[in-house]
Structure 1
């Protein structure tokens, strides 16, 4: 018996090679996943609006299909947020986390799959992110209200056409000097350097900077906690459009 016979060599068995189409498909999938991770991390990401705090600019509510928006992560690498920008940011202090709970499964396998899905944009990040409008920036003093119920920044009343829903304000009968006072009233608050004062467009239905003035940041949000600028509504199709800064 020869050596070849001893190890059972069979010249009739074909080589089992991976088909070229399968290798190419696997490479394309890996490249697509890597590109998706890079884009989601550094360029932009889709976020779901879960509440009505930015109505009517952004639609959302408990149990309904909220807007899905594209958040641009590049712009603020080259500049600072400005008054009027709609931004998404991470909760800066524990007071912003009241009522928030993680959406991750307690099952370790499912949790790992959710984390993986988050990296490629199929699952929401496991963090409390919020969408509001920048009303004042570092060094500015913000308060409400003037004699017409408008917000003031550095003593100047600002025009906010996007605010449709707000607390009542009635000159001479329900203002910031009457008892009771209007629910619009707050401040003055001087925004620390590097921070922002955030408010929802739905002023009577938004737990924004006004609701957190007693925390260690006086309700302001550090620019470092800003994820990016909200640019587009992409879903549902009936809501497609640009999110304008004012």
Structure 2
């Protein structure tokens, strides 16, 4: 007596489930490496734009096509010159594996997140009681500056000429951000080399109650700041790399099943 057709299909699905999982994990790893990666916000330096504990998705694709960080973008970058203290986080094997494939943000990667204020060739400055100026044009920062903060009263600076290939970055919570202003006596003069940039933060993905995109504020496009032409923006993903990997794996497995049935 032949088994029922439905039972055969059910057993076949469970037999191929491991293949689906493996393909999903591989795709998640590829997406994390080349397309988009999740990062956890560890401090209050970017309030109120980002809150401690938020998960942001970072576009890692457009830099592969020659796109460079622009003024006003929120970027993630590797610690350029000992900005972070030597305090390694304690993790377990499960966390390490999940971070490796992109299911969880890494706890040990020495990365920071700030807003690009000036790029190579710009002159940036800020006097006590005044606004931040880029190429002599004052920035209107009310849309992102933390309420009650001053642009730079705690640490005035400049004028500073940003070298080519470097970035001047600052946190949105100015009085709680150890940014470029506080590292001027180090190797890069407080600047971040472009090659240390991981990518641009494009969306707050978690918690869902805070879902939002991270556009460039209008003040950076005003006449005088002389912002570059915008590069093609990557579409913000709504899911983590693992979800994208699973979505990509499903049609591959279905295609394989069809080919096997045709033999």
Name stretches of at least 5 consecutive residues in structure 1 with no aligned partner.
1-18, 61-65, 170-175, 177-181
Mapped to 2, the partners of 1:167 and 1:199 lie a distance apart of: 13
Pick 1 or 2: higher relative contact order, CA cutoff 8 A, min separation 6. 2
Please state which structure has a larger fraction of its residues in helix: 2
Q: Tell whether the 8 Å contact from 2:155 to 2:181 is kept in structure 1 after alignment.
A: no
Equivalent in the alignment of 1:12: none
Mapped to 2, the partners of 1:168 and 1:233 lie a distance apart of: 25
Pair 1:244-2:237 in alignment = no
Matches of residues 20-99 of structure 1 in structure 2 within 5 Å? 20-60=12-52, 66-78=53-65, 79-94=67-82, 96-98=83-85
Equivalent in the alignment of 1:215: 186
Structure showing greater radius of gyration is: 1
Among 111, 118, 123, which residue is 1:129 paired with? 111
Tell me by how many angstroms 1:236 deviates: 1.1
Equivalent in the alignment of 1:139: 121
Name stretches of at least 5 consecutive residues in structure 2 with no aligned partner.
1-10, 218-263
| 1:4-42 CA-partner distances (Å, limit 9, x unpaired) | xxxxxxxxxxxxxxx644430111011000000000110
Q: CA RMSD in A?
A: 2.1
Change (3 A) 1:168 1:133: closer
Pair 1:119-2:100 in alignment = yes
| 1:39-80 CA-partner distances (Å, limit 9, x unpaired) | 0110001111111101111111xxxxx211111111223311
State the TM-score, normalizing by the size of structure 1: 0.76
Equivalent in the alignment of 1:186: 157
Change (3 A) 1:238 1:30: same
State the TM-score, normalizing by the size of structure 2: 0.72
Pair 1:226-2:224 in alignment = no
Mapped to 2, the partners of 1:243 and 1:24 lie a distance apart of: 40
